[in-house]
Amino acid sequence: MTKNSIYADRLMRLKSDMRRFQIECLIVSPGVNFRYIFGLLEEPSERLLVGIIEAENSPKMLVPSFEVDRIKKLTGVRDCFGWEETQDPYSLLPELIPSDIGKTIAIEPKMWFSVYQKIAKKFSERKFISASECLFDPLRAVKDEHEQEFLLKASQKSGDVIVETLNELEVGISEIEVKTILKEKLLWSSNEKSGALVQFGDNSSLPHYSGGNRILQKNDVVLIDAGGTIDNYWGDITITTVFGKASRRFKNIYDIVYSANERGKEAVIENKLPSDVDSATRGFITNEGYGEFFTHRTGHGIGLEVHEHPYIVGNNQTPLVPGNVFTIEPGIYLPGEFGVRIEDDVIKTETGIKTSQIPRYELLEI
């Protein structure tokens, strides 16, 4: 498939879902969903820019007049309507959304509230619903082959970068210094996004601690959770190790978390529900006596956002399907001592799973 055909296919599937849910109009503002449908990564601003998608017609755009040519070129949307700086762009919306296309308008779920208020004021007789649960969440949760390729590469490169960074550790280096090194490596000479958590010693017992001025000492536990993007698709990998010699207690906890991770992946292969996958990891850790120290869900979907559907959590009963991409990341966090998290990115396939090849026990001590 060409890039243009990928976005055309997404638009076709979106419009099919709109018809299924009897939604005749959708307004999309800049953000992740805008990029998913139109192929343009655009940030919201004070100047109104929205895509208007009707179930039975070609999409339209309302954009600042000086942006018309750029938006046409980058999105391929022919019907781009410009508004001048002296105009109220919201007053033009009723002209672009006829009154006969239905009473319900779906709205981009992450639209600025101030923008939503102004739009709603122009359509006081219409009902507005979020485009999240019925449209974008299920659509984006199933990745096509191109998305899966990007995600697998981003996952592998994220893991490789963590391993490279571990080789640069030395006594006296701080968490923030390692984080700086890591984030520079995660850019891969691009301008895309990256994220990193670096935690030494007892800071590793804080699941989302972002790192600070703690200095690395010999025999410290080191937890690094990091990811970069390829074509804006995220990798998200966590490696936990010891800088020096691992204690027997650490090795025992590590074994438990590793086994829980493996049981989670096996549950996916066995076509279990997300809730069952969470139970597989959590149940094993609980049986080993550490259930109270596994304080978060087993995983989350990953794609254009580092956290998206499907969520691998105890109350999610929506079946996993081929094309779902998500993390398996059980952890045990012992307050004041250390934490261990082992995170892999998993693609569900027709016959099992695909996942990046991240060294684990080879890095138990560095």
For 205-219, how does the pLDDT look when each residue is reduced to its tens digit (9 = 90+)? 999 898 889 999 999
Average pLDDT, integer, range 251-273 = 98
Q: Which two tokens stand for residue 28?
A: 């999309």
**What is the spatial distance between Cα 16 and Cα 9, in angstroms, rounded to a whole number?**
11
pLDDT band for position 2 (50/70/90)? Answer: confident
- HSE-CB for 126 with a 13 A CA cutoff: 25
Average pLDDT, integer, range 122-144 = 95
Contact predicate 58/38, CB 8 Å = no
User: What is the second-level CATH architecture of the domain 3-140?
Assistant: 3-Layer(aba) Sandwich (3.40)
Within 8 A by CB and 6+ apart from 198, the residues are 175, 176, 178, 179, 182, 211, 222, 223, 224
The pLDDT value recorded for residue 188 is 76
- Lowest average pLDDT, out of 92-101, 244-253, 286-295, goes to 92-101
Average pLDDT, integer, range 178-185 = 94
Count, residues in the chain: 366
The pLDDT value recorded for residue 58 is 95
Contact predicate 302/32, CB 8 Å = no
DSSP 126: S
Domain boundaries, the chain: 3-140, 142-363
Is the per-residue pLDDT at 9 higher than 70?
yes
Tokens 């596994």 sit at which residue?
A: 294
The pTM of the full predicted model, rounded to 2 decimals, is 0.95
The pLDDT value recorded for residue 365 is 95
Is the per-residue pLDDT at 189 higher than 60?
no
Average pLDDT, integer, range 255-267 = 98
- Lowest average pLDDT, out of 96-110, 194-208, 292-306, goes to 96-110
Within 8 A by CB and 6+ apart from 146, the residues are 1, 6
Within 8 A by CB and 6+ apart from 61, the residues are 49, 50, 51, 52, 71, 75, 77, 79, 80, 81
The pLDDT value recorded for residue 1 is 62
Which tens digits make up the pLDDT trace of 32-86?
999 999 999 999 999 999 999 999 999 999 999 999 999 999 999 999 999 999 9
How much is the mean pLDDT over the chain? 95
E strand or H helix at 12: helix 3-20
The pLDDT value recorded for residue 190 is 61
Average pLDDT, integer, range 176-200 = 89
**Options 3.90.230.10, 3.30.1490.100, 3.40.1110.10, 3.40.50.300; CATH of 142-363:** 3.90.230.10
User: What are the beta bridge partners of residue 174?
Assistant: 215
Q: Which two tokens stand for residue 285?
A: 């850790």
DSSP sequence for 206-218: STT----SPBP-T
pLDDT band for position 187 (50/70/90)? Answer: confident
The pLDDT value recorded for residue 100 is 81
User: What are the beta bridge partners of residue 241?
Assistant: 222
**What is the spatial distance between Cα 272 and Cα 124, in angstroms, rounded to a whole number?**
45
DSSP sequence for 129-174: EESIIIIIHHHHHS--HHHHHHHHHHHHHHHHHHHHHHTT--TT-B
Is the per-residue pLDDT at 147 higher than 90?
yes
DSSP sequence for 246-312: --HHHHHHHHHHHHHHHHHHHHHHTT--HHHHHHHHHHHHHHTT-GGG--S-SEEE-SSSSSEEEEE
Using a 10 angstrom Cβ sphere, with 0-12 exposed, 13-18 middle and 19 or more buried, the burial of residue 366 is middle
Average pLDDT, integer, range 126-137 = 95
Contact predicate 31/41, CB 8 Å = no
Is the per-residue pLDDT at 201 higher than 90?
yes
The pLDDT value recorded for residue 113 is 97
The region, left, alpha or beta by phi > 0 then psi within -120 to 50, assigned to residue 322 is beta
Q: Which two tokens stand for residue 236?
A: 């998200």
